[in-house]
Structure 1
Amino acid sequence: MRVVVASEPARAGEVNEDFFAAVPAGAVLLDGAGTRGAEAICRHGVAWYTYRLGGEIVARLGLDDVALTTLLAEAIAAVADAHRATCDLTDPSSPSSTVAIYRTGGDYLVLGDSVLVLDLPPGPVVVHDRREVDFRVPYQAAYEAAPHGTAEWEEARRVYIAALRANRNQPGGFWLAKDDPRAAAEAIIGTAPVEDLNGVALLSNGASRYVDRFATADWPETLATLSTHGPRDIIRRVRASEQAAGVEPDDATAAYLTDESWPPRPNPA
């Protein structure tokens, strides 16, 4: 399997809370989440959580006879057990993460708002768990509309955070990898037709905003850019769009996987 990947923190010098790894058995991308002050809840922090969870997933990827949901549940349980004695895992703001997995042979899993794109003819298949994105819409709109730093802004922010806390890993809300292995059962799963596959893209939401927030390109154009110019070009364009729109930058990771056994991708017109 050939892998091209690029990853950048939101700002130079900051910790990148995304995680990506590829091994012969497949690839894993995580995007960590946590509110400010989360270190008081979990002394390890968000980056530790994503790196530890990513390692637990990678260690299990070669178990072809284990379903990806079972694999993820076991990994979540292992990480929870590793810091349950020192951290308040029941707090809704303790570290959590999105998950995107592609396993060689075609199995895939997505939990949370990272994106997995199957480069298939006649067009890409986008696997995206939109529950958190859709849930955020009214709260984020009020938060972003309020003048920054005002009492109105502070109240909108408080309501926004409280709603996320109350609905994270709850029926009717949205689901992430956190401390409860049962969240894995909420993931989107499927199997790609490997005989038709040109490639697989995995993007954290800091990179997928190239398409789903800024509409800089559509998914066919994005796959063509990934396969010809590489993921760093996607992140460069995302940073330019963030600056132009006055949007806070985010950790951004993009990867494109190909395999000699997959059909070659046709050159873009």
Structure 2
Amino acid sequence: MLVTLNSVAAGRPGRGNEDFVGAIPTAAVLLDGAGGVAGAEAACRHGVAWYARRLGAELLGLLSRDAAESLPALLAEAIELATGAHRDTCDVTDPASPWATVAVLRVTDGVADHLVLGDAVLLLDRPGGPPLVVTDDREDAVAGPYRSALRTAEGEEYERIRAEGIAAMRAARNRPGGYWIAKDDPAAAGEALTGSHPVGGPTGAALLSNGAARLVEPFGIIDWPEFAALLTAEGPAEIIRRVRAEEARQSVSPDDASIAHCTALTG
């Protein structure tokens, strides 16, 4: 069984958080919704928040009904169901249509299973040692060179690099040699990072959107053991408060930030 304490915060005032956080007694799910770029409405009339909520609800429903199926198989089915819900009204294959990164933790029959697809983060506390950190860095491998170049670019050069980066990211999405996210292709779930641990090993866990992980990456204010200790001592709301303070200090645009903090793992 999981005991969860969740905290979410939208990146910008007046706009809802486009992440999804949910839990049942045996599982927790976090999705970081994305895709709200200019012109996205022409591809999907529903929007990013709708897709994240729909995919998250489908996944939680499947987790509640089937404790034996693998997490990638359940995620693949959830992607198919969520895609089917708007395939007739929206261009689900358009690169601008909504997508999400995913983190899942399930505890059944004395085993804690996890899945991470994309740059969401999963932390597993381990007694006597640093936390296990699971995140998928394949997206960053594609985007990293463009992000670095944008830091010093200005004017027309900035816009050129930005356009090239967007094109490169779209070309590499859900492709071998690129990176993988939940969108319209259920096969992407098979590329997720997964693992299993006997209950009694991990003593707690956290699922984070990348906006909630900023104190470690990219800000480098604390490391993951310090992050885990702060989360345990102060709770997820304090983590997000400190993220917002550091974003303001560095004049960085805020991002949606969501945390599912699992304070007890029993199976």
Shorter chain as denominator, the TM-score bin is over 0.9
> In the aligned structure 1, how far is the partner of 2:135 from the partner of 2:61?
24
**Shift, 1:227, TM fit:** 1.3
Structure 2 length as normaliser, TM-score? 0.94
Could you give the per-residue CA deviations for residues 157-196 of structure 1, whole angstroms, max 9, x where no partner exists?
1111111111111111100000000000000011123112
Residue 74 of structure 2 corresponds to: 71
> In the aligned structure 1, how far is the partner of 2:58 from the partner of 2:81?
7
User: Would the aligned equivalents of 1:143 and 1:160 in 2 still touch at CA under 8 Å?
Assistant: no
Instruction: Please state which structure has a larger fraction of its residues in strand.
Output: 2
Residue 49 of structure 1 corresponds to: 51
Residue 178 of structure 1 corresponds to: 183
Look up the equivalent residue of 1:75 and give its one-letter code.
A
> In the aligned structure 2, how far is the partner of 1:17 from the partner of 1:77?
20
Is 1:117 matched with 2:123? yes
User: Would the aligned equivalents of 2:142 and 2:168 in 1 still touch at CA under 8 Å?
Assistant: no
- 1:256 alignment partner, one of 258, 261, 266: 261
Residue 85 of structure 1 corresponds to: 88
**Shift, 1:226, TM fit:** 1.1
User: Would the aligned equivalents of 2:32 and 2:120 in 1 still touch at CA under 8 Å?
Assistant: yes
Could you give the per-residue CA deviations for residues 195-217 of structure 1, whole angstroms, max 9, x where no partner exists?
12210011100011111211121
> In the aligned structure 2, how far is the partner of 1:143 from the partner of 1:162?
15
Is 1:214 matched with 2:219? yes
> In the aligned structure 2, how far is the partner of 1:189 from the partner of 1:260?
18
Q: Over the residues paired in the alignment, what is the CA RMSD in angstroms?
A: 1.3
Residue 40 of structure 1 corresponds to: 42
Change (3 A) 1:260 1:192: closer
User: Would the aligned equivalents of 1:118 and 1:192 in 2 still touch at CA under 8 Å?
Assistant: no
Q: Give secondary structure in 1 for the equivalent of 2:171.
A: helix
Residue 143 of structure 1 corresponds to: 150
Look up the equivalent residue of 1:46 and give its one-letter code.
V
Residue 24 of structure 1 corresponds to: 25
- 2:195 alignment partner, one of 162, 176, 190: 190
> In the aligned structure 2, how far is the partner of 1:258 from the partner of 1:231?
11
Residue 232 of structure 2 corresponds to: 227
Residue 15 of structure 1 corresponds to: 16
**Shift, 1:260, TM fit:** 6.5
> In the aligned structure 2, how far is the partner of 1:47 from the partner of 1:205?
16
Is 1:168 matched with 2:168? no
> In the aligned structure 1, how far is the partner of 2:262 from the partner of 2:126?
13
Farther off after superposition, 104-113 or 32-41: 32-41
> In the aligned structure 1, how far is the partner of 2:85 from the partner of 2:147?
34
Change (3 A) 1:261 1:53: closer
> In the aligned structure 2, how far is the partner of 1:191 from the partner of 1:36?
40
**Shift, 1:242, TM fit:** 1.1
Is there any run of 5+ residues in structure 1 with no aligned partner, and where? Answer: 263-269
Divergent runs of 4+, >3 A:
none
**Shift, 1:229, TM fit:** 0.7
Residue 266 of structure 1 corresponds to: none
Percent of aligned positions that are identical: 52
User: Would the aligned equivalents of 2:107 and 2:266 in 1 still touch at CA under 8 Å?
Assistant: no
User: Would the aligned equivalents of 2:6 and 2:258 in 1 still touch at CA under 8 Å?
Assistant: yes
Q: Give secondary structure in 1 for the equivalent of 2:211.
A: helix
